[in-house]
Structure 1
Amino acid sequence: MAALLGGMAWCAQHGATAQPAAPAAEQGAQIRFSIPAGPLDQALTGFAAASGIQLLYDSSLTHGRQSPGASGALPPREALRRLLAGSGLEGQFTSPQAVMLRPVPQQGSAADGSVILPEVNVTAGLQQRAWQPVRGYVADVAATATKTDTPILETPQSISVVTRDQMDDQQVQNVGQALRYSAGLEGEYLGAYGSNDEAYSRGFAMDYYLDGMRVLHNAGPGAGTQIESFNLERIEVLRGPSSVLYGAGSPAGIINLVSRRPSDQAGGEVRLQAGSHDRLLGGFTSTGPLNADKTLLYRMTGVGWQGGTQVDGSRQQRLSISPALTWRPDDRTSWTIIGQYAYDPEGGLYSYIPASGTILPNPNGTLDLRRNYGDQNSYNNTRRQYGITSLFEHQFNDTWTVRQNFRYYHTRSVLDGYYPQFFAANQRNLLGVYTRRGMEYDGYTADTHAQARFRTGPVNHTVVGGFDYQGASGENTWYSDRTLYSCDVFTYNPCPPTGGPRYGNPVLRNTQSLNRYGLYLQDQIAWGGWRLLLGGRQDWADSTTRNLLNNATTKMDDSAFTGRVGLLYAFDVGLSPYVSYAESFNPQSGTDAGGSPFKPTTGRQYELGVKYQPPGWNMLLTAAVYDLRQQNVLTPDPNNTLFSVQTGEIRSRGVDLEAKASLNRNINLLASYSYLDNTVTRANDATQGKHPVLFSAHRASAWLDYGFLEGPAEGLRLGAGMRYLGPSWGDTANTLRVPSATLFDARISYDLGALGPSLQGLTAVVNATNLADKQYIRGCYTEGQCFVGLGRTIIGTLSYRW
């Protein structure tokens, strides 16, 4: 993409000589088009959807123009020619998968007989932006690593992008499922419980961001914010410390969720689903201009779903709506407002199951992994969340751009139920307790930065400098009836009623407020094929925690400087080796089970990697090795899984390999492998020298999606995938080993538009995950607290797009 844009910019300055089109475009196979006459911009949207070819043009060129349409089996070049007939525009293939539109030139002849074209004005509107839709599985540009629209091939740190097309093909139901086929990511460690987004990479929990600003997500199972995956355009994953640009954070990196934004091209989708466990879903998204000059754009996205889960007596339900409005008075100014609201009246069952009778032998028999061993009559898991996001950008000139982003978010949740803990000595009676946790938080984030692009001699600079703020305040309350209840689970199903919980005074109740400020500066330096990334940041953080049970107040006040450096060389053949170093700093928000605030953590990572994108191929191959360390790391509390503890220092070393490809409009490919060796290198107990729980040393995945473009199977697509989850440790002493699991996924879809023009836009899909219905334990905290993996799930989808 960088070479393409660079060539376009050269043409804009010097004029261009017409050359023969790329052979792949000239000899492309025929595609069935059914594009009616009408507005040209709508016709071009239909062409791009049918052909998979990216169209680059300034939207002002098509404004007010009409198209005669195109129908029948045609080569893409001929179909585009027909669509543009009479418009005064023509298309130039800049690659087999990209076309630039321009006015039909007044031609002159050069001395050598070639055709000289007039100067082409390439505007910023032609650049691929990191929030825009991507056709297929391969994104060329990402902003999470640099806060600029930088080619992934030129970014000296490991980054992955999950596109909307990939999420739709795999019909993911939450963000954790969307990460299944990315290298080294664990987004489903809670197994079948899908109401909490918490992902791990390189041995640590990752931070969640929405449109470049942090969201409170990991306040506890069912308690933090969960962003609806249907509202997203893409997911960008940055591995490794990212404090220089984002401030306080985990050394694992960040998951940046990118919202669907308004478009100046009218379009949308209506989706209906039905599937396993009586799941029903209805969703829609609609976008387009609100006025003739397209200065005001809208998008409205909504989804509602309900159904049971694989566990008896457990249900999930959600209603989500996200309106968005963009004001774009000119091509240099954009202001987008996005609203978010979600209500989960039922969040599913958060519970665990003992290792005895599942992955360990039990003399009394085997436990049923689909059974609810809690009290079905007392369980309550509800959540309500809402917020508003403002994204403003203004480009003063070719050098200076300023951006100002802000978000307010509110989350309120209750998690109430009976939780089995462990077996009694007879290995028949399962003991458990009732607990109730309530949480209510308000969060504020703001980020203001300026970007300057300039040259110093032969060296190009992209400098970003800014100030950001993160604040949160809220209250956390936890109850327990302090009684161990017993049930002979091999005799009773369900267990006899206990009479419900008998809560007294709370065992924990506190309020907490935190403020984080940061100043940062970054320079991306380009000289020939060299890319040097330098960055530094100063952070300040304070928090106040008040224990409402004893009126004790704990305050924290910290500051730190973090740095980052990366060096990359971009060869013309599409190969980019790199080396990088990055640091993290994180004054922890939250408390341990005793109500004490966590200490700050620090981290550092060395990474060596290579990226490869073969010229002319829509493919990206990446490989990275790393050494990552964090001090005062948070790990799950083995005695109370709603909280975490700090055990000192953990070292992670490993390898991440990933491949993504979208070829010939009908082949999509994903493959990944990761190796992780993480060890507690410093602790004041027996965990020193041990491996933390939950993390697999080996993980691998592969996915292939193939579509038939012609013949009797035209419109049919088939997909299949495999995921290998290696064994992990289930206790801090490393005596309980959780077995590995190999899972298979599949999909079949049919484009009903292949049957006739009247069905254009309709698609029917069936997806199946864990096709063989493998019964497995996903991970354990202790011998008494293991999480059941998600069993076979089948979902049928009927969607209509326009």
Structure 2
Amino acid sequence: MKQQQWMVRPLVQALCTAGMAMMAGGVWASDAALLQEVEVVGANSENQNRADGNWTSSDSRAATKTTTPLNELAQSVSVVRQEQIEAQKPRTIAQALDYVPGAYSGLFGNAMRYDYVALRGFVDTSMANTVLDGMRLMSDAGSFSAFQVDPYFIERIDLVRGPISVLYGNAAPGGMVALMTKQPQMARHSEISVDVGTNNTRALGFDLAGGLSETLSYRLTGLGREADAMQDYSSEKRLAIMPQLLWKPSESTALLLQAYVQNDPEGGYHSGTPYEGAVTTHAGRKVSREFFDGEPNLDEFDREQRMLGYQFAHRFNPAWEVRQNLRHTSSDYASKQVYQSGWANETELSRGYSFSEEELSGLAVDTRVQGTVATGALIHDIVFGIDYQDRENTGFWGWGSVAGIDAFAPQYGNTELSDIGQSNWVREFRQIGYYVQDQISLGAWRFTGGIRYDRAKTSSLDTDTQVKTEWDGGETSRRFGALYVFDSGLAPYVSYSESFDPSSNVDAAGQVLQPSRGTQWEAGVKYQPNASTLLTAAYYDLQQKDVARMVPGEGYFESVGTVKSRGIELEGHLAFAQKFNLQAAYTYSDMKIQNGAAEAEGKRPRQSPEQMASAWLNYTPVTGARIGAGVRYIGKSYADLANTMAVPSATLFDLSASVDLGIWMSQMKGASLQVSANNLFDKDYVAACYDENYCYFGNERSVMTSLKYAW
């Protein structure tokens, strides 16, 4: 019976041809006047940079898999646009979310290898809750094989908060980070940019786009960057390129071919410091944030990522269309690392050694039909589809010991290894989901309802012992919401949603973990009186069952129990006094662990600040010039289950200024200069602690000068 359920390859082939079959024979009743014009594939007016510093967006393309106005969505969604990314110069997607509510990117301090983002306080799968152009990146959250896309390639980020399994299948309860890449366009665009900054940062990027014929357009984007990390003996290097070709033979059909290749031969620093020594003193002293606990001649990191796929869309008539997205992903990962494992005495840290190699291959296919129909006074925007996800990750994890190191006067060169061991494994994940969603308009009312059924299978095979454990089952996810839009732009709403997240991770006994499940109620209000102003307030009550987290230094996970999270999120975008634009956010979350370890009962999970706040103000004194300043507040969190070890709050300041040189000198037309600074006053702080032995310093001050020429 199970074999019949998992004859998946033929099913994938059927999914890939489903769109063509529907084009040949599909006929639906529709009313052409009911369809709002939507771009099949490609750019729209929001792609054009605004000179006024207003970063307000009008819609979301990810929350419902349709283009829906933000003021008509019965859930919390924030959008980070390309202009904001370029102005604030984040080095990772996670950092690009520093000025939106409900997201925390400092889980592992200044580590840059992964896009760790905790949404509404939920840390598990924080590096695997990302969607790229409508499909999951197929990261394996319990391993080192998690995909990372550089912000330079991104046009916009939709942060969708709350459970979203009804449309995307496996998902963490806090929400998802939906990325949209820069895509081909007929209008010619050419730019080259050079960045130079602190820590020997050097980067060169190019972005070329335009039409090749009446039906073909392209985009070619590339980046090379290297920099020293904050810690000694650590550096980061990246080479990435993304070619794309869009074929649009008619106004109703489009095919976009995409590829993305990225090589990271150096991954920077990725370790921590004990709570005593980082937050408080150890033997009367604190460890420097530049301290490197590894060995320069032993530590290595190399990651290669490849993605190849397409997006296809065909409009049958003004009311109905079919879309299919497919992407194959693969990665190779190898690392060796010496890391501290706690204090041995007043000055020396014990150290361990880890080494690993992984090869991941994944496939994602999403086929859906969407359209508009009217039933009496009701207007229905309907989406129904099938998506399939398949991932296999093969590799080994090794471990050992290395001589300790003096944390206050380090001497390197102790490279003799002992107690070497290794575990070889294969981790697999497969999921097929069937979903339907209906967005209903009735006068000023907006109703959203959706249901999905997933069949999933996860497994973990120890190739040394040939012992295989697995989980195989099905799950139904639901979502519904109601919103009323007043003529004034005020829109109160209420919604309910569910999440389902199967895992290939194992516990101490080698058994695959049970899937985690989440449920959420949310109520809020949005106010959008004009295109430049959007104010939102939301209250949510969210619960996740069967939460687990990795045990440091081990290859298995331990149960956390059930985590309940209730909170308030506020966000505002507004323009005033003609030349000023303000973006502000506030987050408060009340989180508690239930049915976990005795000392954790009723306590707050680690790595989850209770409060966060931010504000960014843009001032445009003249057209073509902008000055921006921001402040970020990170509230108190905890390093231990009993909540006796507090991680203090921190307040950080950022700055950005840019000028179009062409407005001052005509011969410099197309050239622009920008200076960006993060943590302007060089605050020395701890961003979060995984536990008592692993706390992570936040980023030091970084200053970047960028020169861009566009033609």
TM-score (norm 2): 0.91
Counterpart pick for 1:133 among 18, 40, 47: 47
AA partner of residue 657 (structure 2) = I
Greater CA drift, 546-555 or 665-674 = 665-674
AA partner of residue 289 (structure 1) = G
Distance 1:208 1:127 in 2: 21
Give yes or no for the alignment of 1:455 onto 2:364: no
**What's the secondary structure of 1:633's corresponding residue?**
strand
Corresponding residue for 1:28?
none
Give yes or no for the alignment of 1:254 onto 2:186: no
Counterpart pick for 2:456 among 541, 552, 558: 541
Corresponding residue for 1:21?
none
Identify if the C-alpha distance between structure 1 residues 597 and 399 changes in structure 2 by more than 3 Å, giving closer, same or farther: same
AA partner of residue 627 (structure 1) = D
Corresponding residue for 1:779?
688
Corresponding residue for 1:172?
90
Identify if the C-alpha distance between structure 1 residues 308 and 762 changes in structure 2 by more than 3 Å, giving closer, same or farther: same
Unmatched 5+ residue regions in structure 1? 1-118
Measured after TM superposition, the shift of residue 759 of structure 1 is 1.1
Corresponding residue for 2:539?
625
Asked if the contact 1:636–1:781 (Cα under 8 Å) also holds between the matched residues in 2, the reply is no
Identify if the C-alpha distance between structure 1 residues 351 and 684 changes in structure 2 by more than 3 Å, giving closer, same or farther: closer
**What's the secondary structure of 1:193's corresponding residue?**
coil
Corresponding residue for 1:554?
469
Counterpart pick for 1:428 among 339, 343, 347: 347
Q: Matched residues, percent identical?
A: 35
Distance 1:422 1:522 in 2: 51
Give yes or no for the alignment of 1:396 onto 2:310: no
Identify if the C-alpha distance between structure 1 residues 428 and 221 changes in structure 2 by more than 3 Å, giving closer, same or farther: farther
Measured after TM superposition, the shift of residue 474 of structure 1 is 1.5
Corresponding residue for 1:356?
276
Corresponding residue for 1:442?
361
Measured after TM superposition, the shift of residue 589 of structure 1 is 2.9
Asked if the contact 2:338–2:402 (Cα under 8 Å) also holds between the matched residues in 1, the reply is no
Counterpart pick for 2:584 among 659, 671, 675: 671
Measured after TM superposition, the shift of residue 668 of structure 1 is 3.2
AA partner of residue 287 (structure 1) = A
Measured after TM superposition, the shift of residue 662 of structure 1 is 5.5
> Where does 1:670-689 land on structure 2 (aligned, <5 Å)?
670-689=583-602
Measured after TM superposition, the shift of residue 503 of structure 1 is 6.9
**What's the secondary structure of 2:397's corresponding residue?**
strand
> Where does 1:308-347 land on structure 2 (aligned, <5 Å)?
308-347=228-267
Distance 1:618 1:132 in 2: 13
Corresponding residue for 1:731?
640
AA partner of residue 139 (structure 1) = S
> Where does 1:695-706 land on structure 2 (aligned, <5 Å)?
695-706=608-619
> Where does 1:298-317 land on structure 2 (aligned, <5 Å)?
298-317=218-237
Distance 2:89 2:578 in 1: 19
Corresponding residue for 2:417?
501
Measured after TM superposition, the shift of residue 544 of structure 1 is 2.7
AA partner of residue 478 (structure 1) = W
Asked if the contact 2:459–2:504 (Cα under 8 Å) also holds between the matched residues in 1, the reply is no
Identify if the C-alpha distance between structure 1 residues 790 and 222 changes in structure 2 by more than 3 Å, giving closer, same or farther: farther
Deviations 1:344-402 (A, max 9, x none): 01011111111212211222422111121221221111100001121111110122110
Deviations 1:420-460 (A, max 9, x none): 01112x32111111111222111110000101201112211
Identify if the C-alpha distance between structure 1 residues 503 and 308 changes in structure 2 by more than 3 Å, giving closer, same or farther: farther
Distance 1:315 1:449 in 2: 43
AA partner of residue 163 (structure 1) = R
Corresponding residue for 1:371?
291
Distance 1:642 1:748 in 2: 46
AA partner of residue 501 (structure 1) = L
Counterpart pick for 2:678 among 757, 761, 769: 769
> Where does 1:57-68 land on structure 2 (aligned, <5 Å)?
none
- By relative contact order (CA 8 Å, sep 6+), the higher-ranking structure is 2
Distance 1:720 1:758 in 2: 30
Asked if the contact 1:563–1:583 (Cα under 8 Å) also holds between the matched residues in 2, the reply is yes
AA partner of residue 767 (structure 1) = S
Identify if the C-alpha distance between structure 1 residues 225 and 335 changes in structure 2 by more than 3 Å, giving closer, same or farther: same
AA partner of residue 244 (structure 1) = V
Counterpart pick for 1:570 among 473, 485, 503: 485
Distance 1:339 1:654 in 2: 40
Identify if the C-alpha distance between structure 1 residues 470 and 362 changes in structure 2 by more than 3 Å, giving closer, same or farther: same
Measured after TM superposition, the shift of residue 547 of structure 1 is 0.5
Deviations 1:469-519 (A, max 9, x none): 0110011311111x36322333x33x242224357440x221022210110
Asked if the contact 1:446–1:470 (Cα under 8 Å) also holds between the matched residues in 2, the reply is yes
Asked if the contact 1:512–1:543 (Cα under 8 Å) also holds between the matched residues in 2, the reply is yes
**What's the secondary structure of 1:169's corresponding residue?**
helix
Corresponding residue for 1:519?
434
Asked if the contact 1:593–1:640 (Cα under 8 Å) also holds between the matched residues in 2, the reply is no
Distance 2:180 2:36 in 1: 26
Greater CA drift, 575-584 or 595-604 = 595-604
Corresponding residue for 1:61?
none
Measured after TM superposition, the shift of residue 636 of structure 1 is 4.2
Asked if the contact 1:375–1:497 (Cα under 8 Å) also holds between the matched residues in 2, the reply is yes
> Where does 1:222-237 land on structure 2 (aligned, <5 Å)?
223-237=145-159
AA partner of residue 511 (structure 2) = S
**What's the secondary structure of 1:244's corresponding residue?**
helix
Asked if the contact 1:717–1:749 (Cα under 8 Å) also holds between the matched residues in 2, the reply is yes
Asked if the contact 1:130–1:143 (Cα under 8 Å) also holds between the matched residues in 2, the reply is no
Distance 1:178 1:641 in 2: 31
> Where does 1:572-591 land on structure 2 (aligned, <5 Å)?
572-591=487-506
Corresponding residue for 1:150?
68
Counterpart pick for 1:469 among 388, 394, 398: 388
Identify if the C-alpha distance between structure 1 residues 455 and 309 changes in structure 2 by more than 3 Å, giving closer, same or farther: same
Counterpart pick for 2:659 among 729, 744, 750: 750
Distance 2:538 2:259 in 1: 37
Name the Cα RMSD after superposition: 2.1
Measured after TM superposition, the shift of residue 223 of structure 1 is 3.5
Asked if the contact 2:144–2:333 (Cα under 8 Å) also holds between the matched residues in 1, the reply is yes
Deviations 1:260-310 (A, max 9, x none): 11011111321100001101000011111001x2x1010000000011011
**What's the secondary structure of 2:275's corresponding residue?**
coil
Asked if the contact 1:156–1:568 (Cα under 8 Å) also holds between the matched residues in 2, the reply is yes
> Is the radius of gyration larger for structure 1 or structure 2?
1
Corresponding residue for 2:304?
384
**What's the secondary structure of 1:204's corresponding residue?**
coil
AA partner of residue 391 (structure 1) = Q
Deviations 1:143-166 (A, max 9, x none): 211111111110101111100000
Distance 1:170 1:657 in 2: 21
Measured after TM superposition, the shift of residue 187 of structure 1 is 1.7
**What's the secondary structure of 2:64's corresponding residue?**
coil
Corresponding residue for 2:199?
277
**What's the secondary structure of 1:531's corresponding residue?**
strand
> Where does 1:691-730 land on structure 2 (aligned, <5 Å)?
691-709=604-622, 715-730=624-639
Counterpart pick for 1:241 among 163, 167, 170: 163
TM-score (norm 1): 0.81
AA partner of residue 429 (structure 2) = L
Distance 2:259 2:45 in 1: 17
Identify if the C-alpha distance between structure 1 residues 262 and 132 changes in structure 2 by more than 3 Å, giving closer, same or farther: farther
Deviations 1:64-95 (A, max 9, x none): xxxxxxxxxxxxxxxxxxxxxxxxxxxxxxxx
Corresponding residue for 1:528?
443
Distance 1:568 1:219 in 2: 35
**What's the secondary structure of 1:686's corresponding residue?**
helix
Asked if the contact 1:188–1:194 (Cα under 8 Å) also holds between the matched residues in 2, the reply is no
Asked if the contact 2:402–2:414 (Cα under 8 Å) also holds between the matched residues in 1, the reply is no
